[in-house]
Amino acid sequence: MRKSPTVLFIFVIIGGLLGGILGEILHIMAPQGTIQSIFSTHFNPGINPPLTIDLVLMKLTLGFSVKINILSVLGMFIGVYLYKHV
């Protein structure tokens, strides 16, 4: 059975989402200290501030931001692993 890149993309996105949700839950529920500081570490790649183009008739604002933490990256790797082995 041939696997498509679309299915891989879906596995990676779902793995990242589930990992990000788990990271946020652990950040809230973990006791103050090292574990909480590990799960609170994240970075936001994206366009900040958003790009704004004023065309007199209309104004276009383009931008995006992604919040990535350790568990979301781990979830993405698990998604790739599941894609290859399922």
DSSP class of residue 48 equals: S
pTM score of the predicted model: 0.78
Give me the chain's average pLDDT, please.
89
Question: How far, rounded to the nearest angstrom, does the alpha carbon of residue 27 sit from its chain's CA centroid?
Answer: 16
Prior bond of 49 cis (ω within 30°): yes
| Model confidence at 1: pLDDT above 70 | no
Integer Cα distance of 79 and 52 in angstroms = 35
Could you tell me which residue, 1 or 35, shows the higher pLDDT? 35
Q: b/e map of 48-78 (b: 16 or more CB within 10 Å)?
A: eeeeeeeeeeeeeeeeeeeebbbbbebbbeb
